[in-house]
């Protein structure tokens, strides 16, 4: 963050960092996070050690945050940031200004991803990976213990693929995009297939299916998986997304940034919640019935997985709109 120098031109009332934090309902550290992300501008006044902020700009940000959070500030004054990529508003979300559900309905996962990355739609976009990158990632992932989970496999595969890429430190836009287009299929290929001999050709959804299910997919199933992937491409500043951005802001290469995101994703309050909920369902199936309601908190003090998710900003749990994105 760099403060602007004060000028002699007339300006509206300036607020101190403390006043700004109180108006926004956040901590002072969060105020500087807003500045670093371009949501607020700050200025140092002559003879004043602290930064000052334009009152009108702060009030506008406060109104926007209240609107986006349904009027209720997050616990602990959480950071709310609108990015150029994703907007969540009125119970819907948008990728670069286009309704994400409509994009997923009309375009493949690869095409939606290209739209997020470049702002351009590339009909028929396909992601492929060099055989050498896939081979080294697979060898590294296959060396892990048999019980290793998919997130650990993906992290190890990303590190192995990075070591095999001598151009990983090239952070030019074209190089970063090229790395991303090859890393995605590399990571998918590093996951063990459940149907041997299948799953190394075609779109990403087709390849991933062979690593998620023993069943032969029909067209509707593959379309549903492709839609789900497109709708999960980005959800604004989720914890894992923020971790990736922090790593990228430190000029980390693509593999390192993705590894940072995968590390956060495994947390039980983020991506790890799905695995915990799945384990709970398996326990119920083994017993034959749900039985008595489970206690609200299992051993370890964590909330019971899958119970009472945080409310959507519009109120209540997020509706299952993604499941209605395609007609089967």
Confidence tier at 73 by pLDDT (50, 70, 90)? very low
Burial class, 115, CB count within 10 angstroms (exposed 0-12 / middle 13-18 / buried 19+) = buried
**Nearest-angstrom CA–CA distance, 226 and 106:** 11
Confidence tier at 47 by pLDDT (50, 70, 90)? low
In this prediction the pTM is 0.67
**Contact criterion met (CB below 8 Å) for 229 and 176:** no
**Contact criterion met (CB below 8 Å) for 11 and 59:** no
Residue 80: the pLDDT is: 46
Q: In what order do the strands lie in the sheet with 98-99?
A: 86-89, 92-95, 98-99
Higher pLDDT, residue 182 or 63: 182
**Nearest-angstrom CA–CA distance, 276 and 274:** 5
Q: What is the DSSP letter of 28?
A: H
Cα→Cα distances 244→38, 169, 182, Å = 18, 16, 18
Q: What is the DSSP letter of 162?
A: H
Q: What is the DSSP letter of 61?
A: H
First-last CA distance in the chain: 50
DSSP 238-300: -HHHHHHHHHHHTT--HHHHHHHHHHHHTSTTTTHHHHHHHHHHHHHHHHTS--SPPPSS-TT
**Average confidence (pLDDT) over 71-91:** 58
Positive or negative CA dihedral for 250, 251, 252, 254?
Answer: positive
The DSSP element (H or E) to which 236 belongs, if any, is none
**Average confidence (pLDDT) over 84-99:** 80
Residue 104: the pLDDT is: 94
**Nearest-angstrom CA–CA distance, 141 and 285:** 30
Q: What is the mean pLDDT of the chain?
A: 81
Q: What percent of the chain shows pLDDT beyond 70?
A: 76
Higher pLDDT, residue 112 or 8: 112
Among 211, 197, 185, 192, which residue's Cα sits nearest to residue 146? 192
Residue 201: the pLDDT is: 83
Could you report the per-residue pLDDT of 268-283, keeping only the tens digit for each? 888 888 888 888 888 8
Measured at the CA of 299, the angle between CA 297 and CA 303, to 5 degrees, comes to 30
- Rounded to 10 deg, the angle between the 173-190 and 150-163 helix axes is 130
**Average confidence (pLDDT) over 179-197:** 92
Could you report the per-residue pLDDT of 161-179, keeping only the tens digit for each? 999 999 999 999 999 999 9
Measured at the CA of 131, the angle between CA 129 and CA 133, to 5 degrees, comes to 70
**Nearest-angstrom CA–CA distance, 12 and 283:** 62
Could you report the per-residue pLDDT of 233-262, keeping only the tens digit for each? 886 678 898 899 899 999 999 999 999 999
């Amino acid at each position: 963050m760099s403060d602007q120098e004060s000028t002699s031109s007339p300006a509206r009332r300036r607020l101190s960092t403390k006043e700004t934090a109180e108006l926004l309902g956040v901590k002072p550290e969060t105020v500087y996070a807003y500045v670093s992300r371009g949501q607020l501008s700050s200025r140092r006044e002559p003879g004043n050690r602290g930064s000052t902020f334009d009152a009108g700009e702060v009030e506008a940000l406060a109104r926007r945050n209240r609107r986006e959070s349904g009027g209720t500030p997050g616990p602990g004054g959480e950071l709310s940031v609108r990015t150029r990529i994703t907007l969540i508003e009125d119970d819907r979300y948008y990728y670069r200004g286009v309704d994400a559900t409509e994009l997923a309905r009309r375009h493949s996962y690869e095409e939606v991803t290209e739209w997020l990355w470049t702002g351009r739609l590339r009909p028929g976009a396909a992601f492929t990976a060099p055989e050498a990158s896939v081979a080294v990632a697979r060898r590294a992932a296959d060396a892990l213990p048999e019980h290793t989970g998919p997130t650990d496999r993906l992290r190890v595969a990303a590190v192995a693929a990075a070591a095999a890429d001598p151009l990983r430190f090239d952070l030019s836009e074209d190089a970063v995009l090229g790395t991303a287009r090859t890393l995605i299929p590399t990571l998918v290929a590093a996951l063990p297939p459940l149907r041997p001999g299948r799953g190394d050709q075609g779109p990403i959804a087709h390849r991933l299916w062979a690593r998620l299910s023993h069943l032969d997919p029909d067209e509707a199933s593959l379309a549903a998986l492709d839609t789900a992937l497109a709708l999960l491409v980005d959800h604004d500043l989720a914890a894992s997304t923020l971790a990736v951005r922090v790593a990228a802001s430190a000029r980390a290469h693509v593999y390192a940034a993705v590894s940072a995101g995968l590390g956060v994703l495994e947390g039980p309050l983020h991506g790890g919640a799905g695995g915990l909920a799945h384990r709970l369902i398996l326990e119920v199936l083994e017993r034959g019935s749900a039985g008595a309601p489970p206690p609200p908190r299992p051993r370890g003090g964590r909330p019971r997985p899958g119970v009472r998710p945080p409310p959507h900003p519009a109120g209540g749990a997020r509706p299952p709109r993604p499941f209605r994105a395609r007609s089967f």
